[in-house]
Amino acid sequence: MPATNSIHEETALLGSVPTDSMVDIELKNIQLQYPLSRTLSKDSSSLLMHEDKVETPLGSMLVAVQGDRSKPAIITYHDIGLNHTACFQSFFNFVDNRMLLQNFCVYHVNAPGQEEGAATLPEGFEYPTMDQLADMLINVLDFYGLKRFIGFGVGSGANIMARFSLTHSDKVDALILVNCVSTQAGWIEWGYQKLNARHLKTKGMTQSAMDYLMWHHFGKATEERNHDLVHVYKQYFEKNVNAFNLGLFIDSYVKRTDLAIVRELDLMKKKTARMIKCPVMMVTGNNSPHVDDTVTMNGRLDPTNSNWMKLQDCGHVLEEQPAKVSEALRLFLQGQGYAVHRPNRMH
């Protein structure tokens, strides 16, 4: 009986629809719209950047400037295997980060020979050490007439930013450090990295080197999380990276020294202790292979001006969790006195 009543109700409802208002529509043409393919190379947003070659006694660096130079400065530094485009382009193109470009001018620094389309460095070129790469930022500041800046580094770039802040604390207002390591390389990392660096310089991008770079940036089980993103990065490492130049950069990174920073809570001893003086936001992902390293570094920072954040379901936080990083960055910068507001997505 209930089923019969239901049929009668549906019939009555259909009968109440005015048939004279129904119009036949003929579909004459259907045009399929395919999504734009993701790339780690320069896109249309790169046209809005101005690029400069900054010469230093240790080699030249390409710097891409994004935004109004009258605004406060953010200087970024990329990780091994990447350049400013591959490391930061998608993050700064993310809708929630429009506020950064409205309130800051971003200076993207590329390590020597790591920019897109870089010529192979000459045989016998002595690649700068990590401390020297940090000191080369002084040349960038002088070139653009910058007095102070906010540092934003990922991986090896974060280590470089931390080193610079230790020797030039008066020039750094704050640091955003993603997957930052404060210690020297362990024996396993040293051996694996040295082998990969040798292969990159003599054989090019081998499968072993590519596997290491994927692990370095994303951690384990990457393809299970985002198959398409993995494909994009593998294509980039295979076709867009100057393997010889990257081998030199990796050599420099694996030979890094310990930052030798300490957590000193005594107010009197703080004045002379080797500490990062500016506010620091440390970020990592729960799938990143560098989680333990960031915990170690966080334990060596001043707890009164540092924050540590581990994001879930990601290894490469800028790629896999840009919204959460953007929100944390906005709140961190607001805490430093910058008027950074949440963007209105309705416009």
Digit-by-digit pLDDT tens for the chain (347 residues) are: 555 555 555 555 555 555 555 556 565 555 544 444 556 666 555 556 899 999 999 999 999 999 999 999 999 999 999 999 999 999 998 888 877 888 899 999 999 999 999 999 998 899 999 999 999 999 999 999 999 999 999 999 999 999 999 999 999 999 999 999 999 988 888 888 888 888 899 999 999 999 999 999 998 766 676 788 888 999 999 999 999 999 999 999 999 999 999 998 888 888 888 999 999 999 999 999 999 999 999 999 999 999 999 999 899 999 999 999 999 999 999 998 887 666 555 44
CA nearest to 211, candidates 286, 252, 199: 199
pTM, full prediction: 0.85
**Cβ atoms 59, 287 nearer than 8 A:** no
Pairing, β 306-311 against β 172-178: unpaired
Mention every residue, 6+ apart, whose C-beta is less than 8 A from residue 12.
Answer: none
Give residue 39's identity as a one-letter amino acid code. T
Angle, alpha carbons 313-315-317 (nearest 5°): 85
**CA–CA dist 139, 61 (Å, integer):** 10
